[in-house]
Amino acid sequence: MTGVIIAIVVVVLIAIAAFAFMRSRGQQRAQRELEHRRERAADRHRTEAAERNRQAEMAEQKAQMAEAEAKRERAEAEVREQRAQMHEQGMADDELVEGHERDRFADATRDEPAPMRDDHSSAVRDDRPMHEPTGEYAQGREDEAAMRQGRFARDEETARTEEPARRDL
């Protein structure tokens, strides 16, 4: 009987060992599968990140190209505006008259530029230099000068009666 009990205990121990071995093997297999899935997910995310970085670089390059194009358009607009001003001032008449028409327009074209326009109207300015005041502004300046002379002017009598202030050092 003791031999049967020992045999049962040995069989149970062998069964427990086999069960533990199978279980640890299943856990190792599950762990390997989980690691494999992690690697695939990480690779998928890295691939997606690389693609998005490439798209972002392309978008930045397109934005730089658009900015350069806008600058070029702005520069072209400025050139056109300058050409328009030259035509308004009569500085580009030679572009309007072809070689065979020069005699016909000889009196109409002139060497000096056309009179400049005022910002608020197209009236031609008079021949005064630009630094000379005109209109109400000029009148105001003249009034100020007259007030200063009247307020600080001395007549002969005032000049004789007042003595200069003395400074004692």
Give the span between the Cα atoms of 31 and 99, in whole angstroms: 91
Phi-psi region for residue 90, left (φ > 0), alpha (ψ -120 to 50) or beta? left
pLDDT recorded at residue 120: 47
Averages of pLDDT over runs of 10 residues in the chain (169 residues) are 87 89 84 93 96 97 96 95 89 77 69 51 49 64 68 56 54
pLDDT recorded at residue 122: 43
Phi, psi of 62 (to 5 degrees): -65, -40
pLDDT recorded at residue 124: 45
pLDDT recorded at residue 123: 45
